Homo-oligomer: A and B are copies of this chain.
Amino acid sequence: MSTMLRAAIVGATGYSGAEVVRLLLMHPHVAVTSVVSSSNPGALLSDGFPHLKQIVTDRLDAVDADLLKEKADVVFLATPHGVSTELSPKLLEAGLKVIDISGDFRLKSGEVYEQWYKHKPADAAYLNKAVYGMSEVFGDEVRGANFISNPGCYPTATTLGLAPLAAKGWIDPKSIIVDAKSGVSGAGRGLSMTTHYSEINENFYAYKVNKHQHTPEIEQTLARLTGEEAAITFTTHLVPMTRGILATIYVNLKEQHSEEEIFELFRSYYAGRRFVRIRDKGKYPATKEVWGSNYCDIGLSLDPRTGRLTVLSAIDNVVKGAAGQAVQNLNLMMGWDEATGLAFSPVYP
């Protein structure tokens, strides 16, 4: 490859944005040409993130569509709700590729967005244009696309745990219960009592019970896959650790299948997809075993006593749940191997 693709990261002072920077530093075909932040333009990115000292020596650019058009071929948006709604259309019109890590373009229905996010939705035309980038499920649509709405962290873990069953029509959508647990980095870098160390350390609790804005995102994908609309139960918990999501998913099957058939279904659905690893029978994923990486590990257990299937799905929320899948989507958009720049191992312990 003679020339490098030029990438800008808007929201580089947040955890997801900084992680895109970290990952792109390892990418052989991409150069980071602009790190952008509304909060502190002109400062060194490494002032706020000293781990990048002498590694990233760039100063922060202000959020400016014209500057982005000049400096970048592709723009990653790791921004609070509402920013991408305004910015992405401008960038797309200028011919840039856009990968939006925020939630602004995930829901096709502006009405549903408004109901769950309590924000004004994006323009309907662009909502329709945005390709929902669940790489292993909708990768075919991602290939060649210019505008990706990158999935949420919880929906990534959940959907990868349900997609084979949903696509095959094996599950009763109304039976789905997702009990999800996330490390604290999912709450971002903004200060809050919830993320105050002494409050969350040595603590475990559920939050936004029956109210989490990722609920309709999961339901939308399941409806696409199953052809049925259904409300699911989705509960989120905070785990006293920095990174990682585990989704424990309970489903009733429409018809009886053996555990072996279910394993076979998952293995064939994800055949050739490097980043999804199906654990052997009796083995279950652990968030630490995907730490810092783009892997999603899945375990399965069919209980003969109840007939209920339990699916366990683990990801690193900052990587596969945000920045990593964004880079994976870039690879797919560009026609590169999906693992380009991402083919490193989790860090353990």
- The chain A residues found within 8 Å of chain B, CB to CB, are 15, 18, 22, 25-26, 49-56, 174, 177, 179, 181, 183-185, 187, 189, 191-193, 195-207, 209-210, 231-233, 235, 237, 239-244, 246, 248, 250, 274, 277, 279, 283-293, 297, 299, 301, 303, 305-306, 308, 310, 312, 314, 344-349
User: With A198-B349, A250-B233, A348-B49 given, is the CB distance from A192 to B189 under 8 Å?
Assistant: no
Q: Are A349 and B179 in contact (CB under 8 A)?
A: no
CA distance A314 to B279 in the complex (A): 31
Among candidates B240, B289, B345, residue contacting A241 with C-beta atoms closer than 8 Å: B240
Among candidates B49, B191, B192, B209, residue contacting A312 with C-beta atoms closer than 8 Å: B209
Q: Are A233 and B303 in contact (CB under 8 A)?
A: yes
Give A21's nearest chain B residue, CB to CB: B345
**Residue from A174, A209, A291, A348 whose CB has the most chain B CB atoms within 10 Å:** A348
A292 contacts which chain B residues (CB < 8 A)? 292, 347
CB of A132 to closest CB in B, whole Å: 22
CB of A25 to closest CB in B, whole Å: 6
User: With A179-B179, A246-B237, A305-B231 given, is the CB distance from A287 to B203 under 8 Å?
Assistant: yes
**Residue from A52, A198, A303 whose CB has the most chain B CB atoms within 10 Å:** A198
A231 contacts which chain B residues (CB < 8 A)? 303, 305-306
Closest 9 CB pairs of A and B: A203-B288, A205-B286, A179-B179, A198-B349, A51-B289, A231-B305, A51-B346, A191-B191, A210-B303
Other 5 A-B pairs with CB < 8 A, given A185-B198, A202-B244, A231-B303: A195-B196, A196-B197, A197-B242, A205-B312, A206-B312
Give A302's nearest chain B residue, CB to CB: B210
A200 contacts which chain B residues (CB < 8 A)? 197
Q: Are A197 and B209 in contact (CB under 8 A)?
A: no
CA distance A244 to B312 in the complex (A): 22
Give A191's nearest chain B residue, CB to CB: B191
CA distance A283 to B25 in the complex (A): 25
CA distance A231 to B250 in the complex (A): 15
CB of A50 to closest CB in B, whole Å: 5
A248 contacts which chain B residues (CB < 8 A)? 179, 206, 235, 237
CA distance A52 to B187 in the complex (A): 26
Q: Are A277 and B184 in contact (CB under 8 A)?
A: no
Give A318's nearest chain B residue, CB to CB: B349
CB of A241 to closest CB in B, whole Å: 4
CA distance A287 to B201 in the complex (A): 11
Q: Are A195 and B193 in contact (CB under 8 A)?
A: no
A198 contacts which chain B residues (CB < 8 A)? 15, 184-185, 187, 189, 195, 242, 349
**10 sampled A-B residue pairs with Cβ under 8 A:** A22-B344, A53-B297, A177-B308, A179-B248, A187-B198, A189-B196, A191-B196, A206-B246, A209-B312, A233-B250
**Residue from A187, A193, A204 whose CB has the most chain B CB atoms within 10 Å:** A204
A242 contacts which chain B residues (CB < 8 A)? 197-198, 201-202, 349
